[in-house]
Amino acid sequence: MEYLHTMIRISDVDASLKFFVDGLGFQELRRVDNEKGKFTLIFLATPDDLKRSGLKGDEYPLPSGLPMIELTHNWDEAGYSEGRNFGHMAFRVDNVYEICQRLSDMGYAINRPPRDGYMAFVRSPDNISIELLQKGDRLEPAEPWASMENSGKW
């Protein structure tokens, strides 16, 4: 068995790419617009995963063994429910404080702040829970995160 990707449905391509590419740092590898089926598929991977794999990301078909996210936009969809039955996606990050600050500066709520210097949760524009885990040792507790309360669902 080989892991290929995780698919999540999105309702707004621009908002989702802002979150995953600009906010989390993913790289778009491939986009497929299917006129007949009225949907768009967008495949994303992290630059670090691309580096580790030795791939550039422009290979076709997309390489197996490269962890990817497939964003699926059904053109006629007006929005999705929260989808908490999906659970969450988790990513190891170089600095949990820096990525939380970047997302916060972009207007995203940090639903579970990294008070412990290790773990945080945010939600995508389609309410998908994203867990961010500090790479290596926990960071020293730091403000504003150390005293920030949870908000919303995560």
| pLDDT at position 127 | 85
Identity of the residue numbered 10: I
Number of Cβ atoms within 10 Å of the Cβ of 6: 13
Which among 91, 88, 89 is positioned nearest to 135, based on CA atoms?
A: 91
All structural domains of the chain: 1-77 (3.10.180.10), 81-154 (3.10.180.10)
Which among 18, 44, 23, 43 is positioned nearest to 33, based on CA atoms?
A: 43
pTM, rounded to two decimals: 0.76
| pLDDT at position 4 | 67
Catalytic residues: 131
| pLDDT at position 39 | 94
| pLDDT at position 82 | 66
Scanning the structure block, which residue is given the tokens 């960071």?
Answer: 139
Q: In this structure, are residues 18 and 105 in contact, taking their beta carbons and an 8 Å threshold?
A: no
| pLDDT at position 104 | 96
Q: What is the 3-state secondary structure (H, E, C) of the chain?
A: CCCCEEEEEECCHHHHHHHHHHHCCCEEEEEEEECCCCEEEEEEECHHHHHHHCCCCCCCCCCCCCCEEEEEEECCCCCCCCCHHHCEEEEEECCHHHHHHHHHHCCCCEEECCCCCCEEEEECCCCCEEEEEECCCCCCCCCCHHHCCCCCCC
Number of Cβ atoms within 10 Å of the Cβ of 20: 24
Q: Are strands 119-123 and 39-45 parallel, antiparallel or unpaired?
A: unpaired
Per-residue pLDDT of the chain (154 residues; tens, 9 = 90+): 466 688 888 889 999 999 999 999 999 999 999 999 999 999 999 998 888 887 766 666 666 678 889 999 999 987 777 665 566 888 889 999 999 999 999 999 999 999 999 999 999 998 888 999 999 999 999 999 999 999 988 7
